[in-house]
Amino acid sequence: MKPILALALLFPFFLLAADPEPKKAWQKELDAYWTEVSRAVAAGDFAAYEATCHPDGVLVSGVKKNSSPLADALKRWKKEFDATKSGGMKASVEFKFAQRLSDATTAHETGIFLYSATGADGKEIREYIHFEALLLKRDEHWKIVMEYQKSKATRAEFEAL
């Protein structure tokens, strides 16, 4: 009887020690998508960044209380990409996720991103932003359809994810 009791008590620990379900191919693709977004920002590679966006994408700003075509935001952001590419500034973006809901062709990602930029004057900007993103996979490529920059976040919130 004691061996059965011992096994019954240890069983929950075996469950905790089990490997989580391996990532599916499309989950790895989404990880690669966000890695590419980060790479493009750091390199000042505007064409690569633009390629991650759906042409009919929407940018929603909770801080500014508006929405606009993502294409309009890209036009505004291009000067920072150009400055980064030429070495006039340094930029980076890092993503941490609170929730990732997806299948093979759709994704809803929620989390916080940290955008950092240092200008030629040495002044550094660090912005933590709560965000949601809707993505679609078309023709083997993930594209962001909606980026909702919900509100400012804190460093502590970012590190807690």
Q: What is the pLDDT of residues 98-118, one digit of tens each?
A: 999 999 999 999 999 999 999
Q: What percent of the chain has pLDDT over 90?
A: 83
- Given a contact cutoff of 8 angstroms between Cβ atoms, the answer to whether 77 and 89 are in contact is no
pLDDT score of 23: 82
Residue 7: pLDDT band with limits 50, 70, 90: very low
d(CA 26, CA 35): 14
Nearest CA to 147 out of 158, 160, 136, 159 is that of 136
List, in order, residues 6 or more apart from 64 with CB less than 8 Å away. Answer: none
Provide the residue ranges of all domains of the chain, joining segments of one domain with +: 23-160
pLDDT score of 25: 87
Is it the case that residue 4 has pLDDT exceeding 70? Answer: no
- Region 4-11 average pLDDT: 41
Q: What is the pLDDT of residues 9-47, one digit of tens each?
A: 444 444 444 445 678 888 999 999 999 999 999 999 999
pTM > 0.75: yes or no: yes
pLDDT score of 99: 97
List, in order, residues 6 or more apart from 136 with CB less than 8 Å away. Answer: 54, 105, 106, 107, 142, 143, 145
State in words which class domain 23-160 has.
Answer: alpha beta
